[in-house]
Amino acid sequence: MDIVKCKRCRKIFQKMAARKVCPECLQTEEADFLKVKTHLHDFPGDDVNQLSKATGVDRHLVIEFIRGGRVKMNSSLIPDELYTDCPRCGQQTLNVRFCEQCLKYLSKNLSGQEPVQKSDAPSQNTRTEFHFKNLIRDSDRL
């Protein structure tokens, strides 16, 4: 059983699938996702910054939605910084690792093997522990 720290609220929770956030934050993220999606539907011309500002959703989260393919944005509105070079063909891609074509190619050729996802969550193991002493004493009686 894996115990991980929530990326958002730093709470410790039991890891499920590839989730990086606890169930509570997942709900918040879902709500944020809907906000972003709805806004983009009404204002398809908004870029990441405008989107983040208008919805109040953290820019990084908006970027994550785009990267994860959950939010489809006009490619001309996606900032260059979001693109990485595909290590296989050198093409610019929004995907974390390989570009769409290479992913298709690889999954066809390596059937059964999932594309490896980079997980670079900072490993903070500093856990504050509180020791509560029993400080209850008989108060002075008059």
Query: Taking Cα atoms as reference points, which of 10, 47, 45, 42 lies closest to residue 124?
Result: 10
Is the CB of 38 or the CB of 101 nearer to Zn ion? 101
User: What is the sign, positive or negative, of the torsion defined by CA atoms of 34, 40, 41, 42?
Assistant: positive
The CB-of-13 to Zn ion minimum distance in angstroms stands at 7
CB hemisphere CA count around 54 (13 angstroms): 17
- State the binding string over 79-118 for Zn ion (x if CB under 5 A, else -): -------x-xx-x-------x--x----------------
Tokens 């989730």: give the residue.
Answer: 19
**Burial (CB count within 10 angstroms: exposed 0-12, middle 13-18, buried 19+), residue 5:** buried
- H helix runs in 1-128, sequence order: 23-42, 48-55, 59-67, 100-109
Q: Which of 6, 54, 61, 77 binds Zn ion (CB under 5 A)?
A: 6
The CB-of-112 to Zn ion minimum distance in angstroms stands at 21
- State the binding string over 26-65 for Zn ion (x if CB under 5 A, else -): ----------------------------------------
If binding is defined by CB under 5 A, does position 20 make contact with Zn ion?
no
Distance of CA 17 to the CA centre of its chain: 13
If binding is defined by CB under 5 A, does position 9 make contact with Zn ion?
yes
Stretch in the footprint of Zn ion (CB under 5 A) among 7-15, 43-51, 58-66, 113-121: 7-15
| Interacting residues with Zn ion (CB under 5 A) | 6, 8-9, 11, 22, 25, 86, 88-89, 91, 99, 102
